[in-house]
Amino acid sequence: MNFFKTFLASCLGSLIALVLLVFLIIGIFSAAISGLSGGDKIVTINDNSVLNLKLNVPITEMDIENPFEGLPFPGIDEVAVGLLPLKQTIEHAATDPSIKGIYLEVSLFQGGYAQAKEIREALINFKKSGKWIVAYSEFFTENSYYIASVADKIYLNPEGELELNGLAVEVSFYKKLFDKLEIKPEIFRVGDFKSAVEPFFLDKMSDANRLQLRALIDDINNSTNLEIAEARKIDNTELKKITDQMLVTAPEDAAKYRLVDSLFYFDQVQAELRNRLGLGKNGKINLVKYSKYKKSFTNVSTSKNEIAVIVAEGEIIPGKAGESSIGSETFAEELRKARTNDRVKAIVLRINSPGGSALASDVMWREVVLATKEKPVIASMSTYAASGGYYLAMGCDTIVAEPTTITGSIGVFSVLFDLSGFLGNKLGITFDEVKTGEFSDIATFTRPLTTAEKSIWQKKTNKIYEGFTTKAADGRGMEVEQLRSVASGRVWTGTQAKEKGLVDVLGGFDDAVKIAAEKAGVANDYKLRFYPKQKNFLAQWLEDLEENSKTSILKNELGEGYETFRQLKKAQQLQGAQTRLPFEFQWK
């Protein structure tokens, strides 16, 4: 009986694999034909259409192209939405006579507040064209409601939920775990606020970290609440009371306090859309998905003047860029190409990074400085441009940040882990060595560091901090001591950073492009080109499928322990000198 079960299972597995292979070949063939015919055809949009924006997927800076869309692959529709192409699409829809309005679905927005603000501003500009926006959801999180608040009408399911109770940030600590495992972190840092390593030797926030986090979320909360109050025509003091006391605990409360216009079921929202479109009771609503609509137009320009937009998204690492990392080699190469290309009149660095390797950050900073000697280089900060992310921006001519951008964190830390207790006492593994010099194994994890070795590591860390702050002061036109007074690893919002002189302009990507064009003298005659070129779609999809499968298995096996496992694995990447954001956000 077991033989037949195994045999049938193998046959079924082979059949499924064959079907997937057939679809894969069809997808590759279709993509190849599309490439040979000059790319995707322009899609025709019917009159009296509604642009359907579903923003419940990860938000990245650029789109991940999905040529297999519509095919029955697992997770094939769960692709990210690129912020910059999305903004261009909304802008085009505002002038497209075929599009009468936007139907907005945003429940679990998977982006940062700075990204949310850019989308929100694009929607506000869309409304200025005289067109309408209707938002509907069964559940609004804090930041998804922030986006939806610009809509002409907001509808919530009668049994749904609206979360509007302020912001909270949670930080995980691993000291007790390390104590149990006999793992001892060897930590070297500069700056009272450089708290990325605190989870390794503390069991709660330091006073400095608590101070900066409180100031950070207060500023973000106040900023977003002001915009929501203005959009919904609610007094800001009243809105603050609603959020602070969590007065909205039921759908009826959301309607009572004018946060939503009506409590509607899906069919009632559909009836509202039909009414706006002048359709009959059973008239078909022509909803056009973002993935389709973005193929209905092209932004190709005949201008000979190019503004190169170099997108730096993810953690900073040496070498080639990865799926979600900024590789110093890749970034430097793109900057060199833009610097030496006569068609490129200006460069915009679009940064969304919490930092990473100190050396890699400095390698890229050098290329930024060289580029500024040839043409205007403008930094546009997204959700994060902190530590190493700020390192990339500080050499630019102008730095543009959103009020809710998380930036600064000008500080350095180095960390090694002494695993001798864990390996010896828990696993029964011991080590011995011979060496030619006193410091031949200064990066060891098999024994505690000596006092002399610790001194060397601290000196190395201090030197990197001195270089970081000196270069930052030079880039910002400040005295070093003045710069260091706002450094020490402290994190600021964009608004706070502007007050401290770390940022020049509060605004978004479009503002950065406008500044770049004006500085280059091509304000009315330019085209945008985005770099680096997008990764091969097939390789990207296969990587994502494999990674998602591994993650899914680990989550099922570890349950609530998965997040702890993820953080411990990430700790492996922190060895050596780092210019990295001093915490990882767990928004609540």
Give me the active site residues, please.
Answer: 194, 387
SS (H, E, C) 80-130: CEEHHHHHHHHHHHHHCCCEEEEEEECCCCECCHHHHHHHHHHHHHHHCCC
Q: Give the closest residue to 280 by CA, choosing from 23, 48, 22, 27.
A: 48
Q: Give the closest residue to 356 by CA, choosing from 326, 324, 323.
A: 326
Q: Are 194 and 582 in contact (CB under 8 A)?
A: yes
Q: Give the closest residue to 179 by CA, choosing from 415, 425, 414.
A: 425
Q: How buried is 7 (Cβ within 10 angstroms: 0-12 exposed, 13-18 middle, 19+ buried)?
A: exposed
Q: Which two tokens stand for residue 264?
A: 């509607």
> Distance (Å, rounded) from C-alpha 308 to C-alpha 389?
19
Q: Give the closest residue to 345 by CA, choosing from 304, 395, 307, 374.
A: 307
**Residue in this structure with the two tokens 């080590």, named with its chain if needed:** 431
> Distance (Å, rounded) from C-alpha 385 to C-alpha 309?
16
Helices of type H across 325-477: 328-340, 358-372, 388-393, 420-421, 451-476
Beta strands at 412-418 and 576-580: parallel, antiparallel or unpaired: antiparallel
> Distance (Å, rounded) from C-alpha 293 to C-alpha 496?
38
Cβ neighbours of residue 229 under 8 Å, at least 6 residues apart? 235, 236, 238, 239
Q: Give the closest residue to 582 by CA, choosing from 479, 491, 511, 463.
A: 491
- The residues facing 407 across adjacent strands are 385, 492
- φ and ψ at 418, to 5 degrees? -85, 105
From residue 139, alpha-carbon distances to 84, 182, 289 in Å are: 26, 44, 21
